[in-house]
Amino acid sequence: MRAVVIRAFGGAEVLRIADVPAPVAAEGQVRIRVEAATVNPVDLATRSGALTGAGLLPARDVIGIGWDAAGTVDQIGPGVTGFKPGDRVIGLCDRLDVPLGAQAEHVVLDADAVAAAPAGLSPVEAATLPLNGLTAAQALDGLGLGDGQTLLVTGAAGAVGGFAVQLAVARGLRVVAVAGGAPPPLRGIRVFNHWIRADGAHLSRLAALAEAGALTLRVAGALPLDQVAAAHHRLATTPLRGRLVLTP
């Protein structure tokens, strides 16, 4: 199969489309024939070496790229009961110790990182939900705000911020939105980092909201897999009101 990989850190020119063996679903896993994979800022950080420099991603000879995927299950591993071949799904590849990412013709994910794709939406649209939607939802969970409280969302024009606004309103919060980035930690403002984790059950709830029209899935454009370098360049240089999506 074809997969996006890097063998050295640098700019978009280090991205390669490699021919690699297709992965096989092990116990508790499903293999997805990828129809759409989103390009996110974390992919640029992986490619540049920033994640490795921060100690989050071990250096390897070959590193796969991509976190979000939408497609069709084409293989299930032993012990998987919630999915079957032919199911249309979305999922999150959040493990940094695996050799390949979601920007490939196939990806293997733990079954508990996968959810049924929202009906009525294209794979390109659906692929924009897992990473950014779960980041927003899990961050809101961590705040523990109750009905009627006020939430300031900075970066509301972005993918995570846009989801945060909609999810907060759905939870009964009063939302004040600012298009630009996060305030400095002054005058009693506390800043903490939220680390995204795959959660198929929570992703299913987000998919249901998207299916009902309560979440807007924004696509800035779709490109074929072999134009991944162009997608990275565009994400790095152009303000976008949605995500760029690769189609293997």
How much of the chain, in percent, has pLDDT values that exceed 70?
99
pLDDT of residue 51: 94
Residue 6, pLDDT > 80, answer: yes
Type of residue found at 83: F
Over residues 222-235, the pLDDT tens digits come to 999 999 999 999 99
Mean pLDDT of 98-119: 97
| Chain position carrying tokens 């970066």 | 155
Please report the pLDDT score of residue 91 as a whole number: 98
Which residues lie closer than 8 Å to 141 by C-beta, 6 or more apart?
none
- Check whether 178 has a pLDDT greater than 90: no
Check whether 209 has a pLDDT greater than 90. yes
Mean pLDDT, rounded, of the chain: 94
Which burial class, exposed, middle or buried, applies to 181 when counting CB atoms under 10 A from its CB (0-12, 13-18, 19+)?
exposed
Query: Where does the pLDDT of residue 189 fall: very low under 50, low under 70, confident under 90, or very high at 90 and above?
Result: confident
pTM of the model: 0.93
Summarised one tens digit per residue, pLDDT across range 57-66 is: 988 999 999 9
Query: pLDDT category, 184, cuts 50, 70, 90?
Result: confident
| Residue 120: Cβ-neighbour burial (10 angstroms; 0-12, 13-18, 19+) | exposed
User: What pLDDT band is residue 48 in, cutting at 50, 70 and 90?
Assistant: very high
